[in-house]
């Protein structure tokens, strides 16, 4: 019969092999029992990030805990709009919710915390400009800065035209603005005529 310490070390190894973060369902699937999980929690080996989401405590502090939490709870979603702008550092707006994109006609993920807002994207729009970033040991899917700017113009009536215009200007000021790239994504979002005057004013 294996010692509890051996089972604990094995459980910690499983956590590390998956970026140090596991959902309850994943832990059970990988062979970590509820008893062991709660024992690790009580002993301080893991911490509860949010309901049903656990993380090893000896890892470096989380830089973007909400993005990581949402990406684990909704693996098919993509971080978008103001949340993506904040990640790319092209906005002065502070996101008070994690904004995610999912395909139209798909079921909305149930996320009690952190506060999350869902936007439905067309098949073409959700497949364009997706980047994968390793954040705090977890892979998070986020739209690129250029695609996000185009998305912001697309959803300007929901998040504000000022947000979109500011992001375009900040992307230009950071010397990351590539006009052809912006217009490529503007075509995907069908906002070429909306973006073009603002883009031409910067060039």
* pTM for the model: 0.73
Separation between Cα atoms, residue 146 and residue 135, nearest integer Å: 20
**Nearest one of 22, 65, 66, 62 to 46, comparing CA atoms:** 22
pLDDT at 1: 43
Contact between 119 and 100 (Cβ < 8 Å): yes
pLDDT of residue 136: 74
Instruction: Specify the length of the chain in residues.
Output: 203
Answer for the pair 72, 53: CB distance below 8 angstroms, yes or no: yes
Residues of the chain with pLDDT under 50: 1
């Amino acid at each position: 019969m294996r010692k509890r310490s051996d089972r604990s070390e094995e459980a910690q190894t499983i956590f590390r092999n998956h970026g140090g973060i596991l959902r309850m369902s994943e832990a059970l699937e990988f062979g970590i029992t509820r008893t062991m999980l709660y024992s690790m929690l009580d002993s301080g080996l893991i911490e509860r990030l949010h309901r049903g989401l656990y993380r090893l405590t000896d890892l470096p502090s989380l830089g973007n805990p909400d993005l990581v939490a949402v990406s684990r709870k909704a693996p098919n979603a993509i971080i978008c709009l103001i949340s993506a702008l904040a990640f790319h550092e092209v906005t002065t707006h502070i996101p008070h919710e994690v904004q995610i994109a999912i395909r139209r006609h798909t079921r909305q993920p149930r996320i009690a915390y952190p506060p999350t807002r869902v936007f439905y994207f067309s098949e073409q729009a959700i497949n364009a400009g997706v980047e994968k970033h390793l954040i705090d040991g977890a892979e998070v899917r986020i739209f690129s800065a250029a695609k996000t700017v185009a998305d912001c113009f697309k959803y300007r009536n929901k998040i504000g035209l000022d947000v979109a215009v500011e992001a375009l200007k900040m992307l230009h000021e950071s010397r990351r603005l590539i006009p052809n790239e912006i217009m490529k994504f503007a075509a995907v979002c069908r906002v070429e005529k909306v973006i073009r005057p603002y883009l031409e004013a910067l060039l």
